[in-house]
Amino acid sequence: MSDKSDNWSYSPESIPVLHPRRKYTIKLAAALRAGRSILGLSQVTFAQDMGISKSKLARAETAAGSISSGDLEYALSVFRSAGVVIDLTIDGDLRLTVPDNKLHLIEAAMTAGMGGDGSFDEAAPDQNR
């Protein structure tokens, strides 16, 4: 069995545009980044918790690289334990459930923008630079 057999994501460029796996790859990448960001974790911190490099996490969050199914399951379990539930339905819909006590992070991101490492930053935009 190939080492790639337990990976959930490959570079979008390597998957034909019309292939169903491409949309799942992109949606899972978005879910990974959204879940981490909603919890207010930096890529560095979350990658260390997962036991992978920051660059591997960054590539997985942009669908430019792969992550093992075990690492993905770990990430999803961290999100679930914090009340952030990410579901990818059989129809390909991505559903994100966020507890009320985490909504302030989303509101802050919408008004202040994302931090340099992809985490939500509650500081005003001019304080981020």
Tens-place pLDDT, residues 76-121 = 999 999 888 988 787 778 888 888 888 887 777 666 555 555 554 4
In whole numbers, what is the pLDDT of the chain averaged over residues? 75
Tell me the range of 41-50, 63-72, 90-99 where mean pLDDT is highest: 41-50
What are the extents of the domains in the chain? 7-112
CA–CA gap between residue 108 and residue 125 (Å, rounded): 10
**Could you give the 3-state DSSP secondary structure of residue 41?**
coil
- CA-CA distance, 98 to 103, in Å (whole number)? 7
Residue 1's SS3 state is coil
Superfamily of domain 7-112: lambda repressor-like DNA-binding domains (1.10.260.40)
Helix locations, the chain, DSSP H? 20-38, 43-50, 54-61, 69-81, 103-112
